[in-house]
């Protein structure tokens, strides 16, 4: 074979992404004008009921997204809903497409494909009575799930859209005091720069937490146990520890947490291992540990920056709710 192999395009490699619940809603509208608009709304177009046909076309369009766009991943859609509503002030029909799935990548292209298919169908059925039609305002309203959590379009949503679709951002930490402790003999000696701690601190700040301290300690039960008792007494709400959760002779972070005499939270530790195993089977070797010490939640995570980022993504939907439960709020 002569020459060098190359590819001009490729699908994004999502194999290392975790399967999460994904949802997206797209919106757009057809400006029909004074002739076509009443015929659409009153369902009197010569070709038939454009509103019903647009819903059907939107469903089909969302499911066909990967066939229409070469680099779009084929996804098993678990929900597709298409809504059409008149906008009389603009003589327009507004269309929304909502898609949901559990997948490694988002469903925003499916939602946009659904909206466009519905709008084109409205156009097709309306053009015999009014060729001067206009499709516009097509955009992603919001998407949720995955690493980025909830993304809202800068133009925002009106009250009716918020009530119908109810995007669910993770409960924020609302200024809760947080600390991050890295456990590493080598990092504590200055042999290398800690990278995992800053990753976790950034994740806590993104959730609205106030990171009041980041520390690097040597591996071992002490001084970690003493620092944790001091932090709990000072009112710290979340302490994320990274490192020392493996099987090595100096990996003693779980033992330090167990020595605190707090309440074990085994379900959260098991969730970290189980969901991390979607990235690597080596996650089952992690001894991640979670303990509640008074009003403080202490979570021991793996030490690699990549694993720390993955675990932060797993924790994001539940940290705020966990603090609310500690404070006696409803479990709902």
Question: Tell me: the pLDDT tens digits for 253-266?
Answer: 999 999 999 999 99
Span(s) in the chain for CATH 3.30.70.640: 20-165
**Cα(119)–Cα(276) distance, rounded to whole angstroms?**
41
**Cα(276)–Cα(282) distance, rounded to whole angstroms?**
9
Stretch (H or E) spanning 28: strand 20-31
Q: Is the pLDDT of residue 322 over 60?
A: yes
Q: Is the pLDDT of residue 309 over 60?
A: yes
Of 168 and 25, the structure prediction assigns the larger pLDDT to 25
Residue 23's DSSP bridge partners are 100, 144
41-57 residue pLDDT tens? 999 999 999 999 999 99
**Cα(148)–Cα(108) distance, rounded to whole angstroms?**
13
**C-alpha distances out from residue 217 to 18, 185, 221, 316, Å:** 30, 7, 10, 25
| Cβ–Cβ under 8 Å, residues 208 and 172 | yes
Closest CA to 199 of 296, 111, 311: 311
Dig out the tokens for 236 from the structure: 């710290």
| Cβ–Cβ under 8 Å, residues 296 and 261 | no
Helical pair 305-315 and 266-276, crossing angle rounded to 10 deg:
120
Which 3 state secondary structure label does DSSP give 15? Answer: coil
Q: Tell me which of 3.30.70.640, 3.90.1150.10, 3.40.980.10, 3.40.50.300 is the CATH number of domain 177-326.
A: 3.40.980.10
Q: Supply the mean pLDDT for the chain.
A: 94
**Cα(84)–Cα(94) distance, rounded to whole angstroms?**
6
CA quadruple 204, 205, 209, 211: dihedral sign = positive
Single pTM value for the model: 0.75
**Cα(225)–Cα(122) distance, rounded to whole angstroms?**
66
- Mean pLDDT computed over 274-279: 90
Span(s) in the chain for CATH 3.40.980.10: 177-326
Assign a CATH topology to domain 20-165.
Alpha-Beta Plaits (3.30.70)
Q: Is the pLDDT of residue 279 over 90?
A: no
- Pick the catalytic residue from 16, 49, 124, 194: 124
| Cβ–Cβ under 8 Å, residues 24 and 106 | yes
178-200 residue pLDDT tens? 999 999 999 999 999 999 999 99
124 part of the active site: yes
Q: Is the pLDDT of residue 33 over 60?
A: yes
Q: What is the pLDDT of residue 331?
A: 64
Dig out the tokens for 113 from the structure: 């494909």
- The residues, any chain, with a CB within 8 Å of residue 181's CB and separated by 6 or more, are 197, 214, 215, 216, 217, 224, 227, 239, 240, 241, 242
Sequence-distant contacts of 263-266: CB under 8 A, at least 24 apart: 263/291, 263/292, 263/293, 264/289, 264/290, 264/291, 265/290, 265/291, 265/292, 265/297, 265/322, 266/290
Dig out the tokens for 273 from the structure: 């291992």
């Amino acid at each position: 074979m002569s020459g060098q192999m190359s590819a001009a395009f490729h699908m994004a490699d999502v194999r290392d992404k975790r399967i999460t619940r994904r949802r997206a809603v797209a919106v757009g509208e057809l400006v029909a004008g004074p002739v076509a608009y009443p015929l659409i709304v009153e369902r009197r177009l010569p070709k038939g009921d454009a509103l019903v046909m647009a819903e059907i076309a939107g469903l089909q369009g969302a499911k066909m997204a990967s066939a229409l766009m070469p680099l779009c991943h084929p996804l098993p859609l678990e929900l597709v809903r298409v809504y059409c509503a008149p906008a009389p002030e603009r003589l327009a029909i507004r269309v929304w497409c909502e898609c949901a799935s559990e997948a490694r990548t988002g469903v925003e292209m499916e939602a946009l494909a659904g909206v466009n298919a519905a709008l084109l169908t409205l156009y097709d059925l309306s053009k015999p009575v009014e060729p001067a039609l206009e499709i516009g305002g097509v955009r992603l309203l919001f998407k949720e799930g995955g690493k980025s959590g909830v993304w809202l379009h800068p133009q925002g949503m009106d009250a009716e859209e918020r009530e119908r679709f109810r995007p669910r951002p993770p409960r924020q930490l609302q200024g809760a005091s947080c600390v991050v402790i890295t456990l590493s003999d080598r990092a504590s000696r200055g042999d290398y720069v800690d990278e995992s701690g800053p990753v976790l601190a950034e994740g806590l700040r993104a959730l609205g937490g106030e990171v009041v301290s980041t520390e690097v300690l040597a591996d071992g039960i002490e001084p970690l146990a003493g620092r944790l008792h001091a932090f709990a007494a000072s009112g710290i709400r979340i302490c994320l520890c990274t490192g020392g959760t493996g099987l090595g002779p100096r990996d003693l972070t779980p033992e330090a947490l167990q020595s605190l005499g707090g309440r074990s939270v085994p379900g959260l530790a098991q969730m970290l291992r189980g969901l991390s195993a979607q990235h690597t089977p080596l996650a089952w070797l992690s001894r991640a540990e979670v303990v509640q010490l008074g009003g403080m939640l202490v979570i021991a995570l793996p030490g690699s920056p990549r694993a720390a980022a993955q675990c932060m993504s797993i924790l994001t939907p539940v940290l705020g709710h966990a603090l609310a439960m500690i404070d006696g709020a409803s479990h709902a």
